[in-house]
Amino acid sequence: MPYINQSVRYPTGCESVSAVMLLQFLGCPVTVDEFIENDLEQKAFEERDGLLFGPDPWKYFCGSPYDEESFGCYAPVICEALNHYFSRTGNVQYEAVDETGTSMEELKKKYLDERMPVVFWAAINMRKPIIGPSWRLLDTGEEFTWISNEHCMLLVGYDEEGYWFNDPYENNGVIHYLKEVTEDRHRVQYSMAVGVRRLQ
């Protein structure tokens, strides 16, 4: 399994880095920079009348993966980016699937047991979630509240005690997190995951 450390160049790019580790595992010749530039939908923040307006993380990456002051994005954005990559490169072997809400048992059965890693949302070093900050959405004006310590990793295996990840944060490498805390942090982040299925 290829490993990429996000910390030097992509301080908030955990989602893209995790997606690219999966693509490289599948044999796709892509770099993180190419994926961000060509496949990831991004949108910046704006100030209007003293109020902060920002993108909807269900639709866009909020800010830039190169900016440590940016936030991140949710599973549909990475699912769309992966499928954009497959389409852009003419790769008809694979399709990305938004598995948000899928149980851990089902993720293990559908993907890990079939030797397919999963892009997985939880928390930085499994820290406790922090509610906030908030901003108004650019397209609707509704208030949105981010859950801080959001983090994306590549789920690569499991055992009786917990789960194994390629964790791109601060060169964590291949790391084991305990089952209960992993599943709790995953639930807090809306149980988001993205899988890739083989079509051929």
With 0.95 as the threshold, say if the pTM is over it: yes
In tens, the pLDDT along 99-132 reads: 999 999 999 999 999 999 999 999 999 999 999 9
What digits encode the pLDDT tens for the residues 2-20? 999 999 999 999 999 999 9
Residue 200 has pLDDT above 80, yes or no: no
Contacts of 68 (CB under 8 A, 6+ apart): 11, 12
Give the strand pairing for 42-43 and 61-62.
parallel
Band (pLDDT 50/70/90 cuts) for residue 94 is: very high
Taking each helix axis from N to C end, the angle separating 14-25 and 75-88, rounded to the nearest 10 degrees, works out to 40
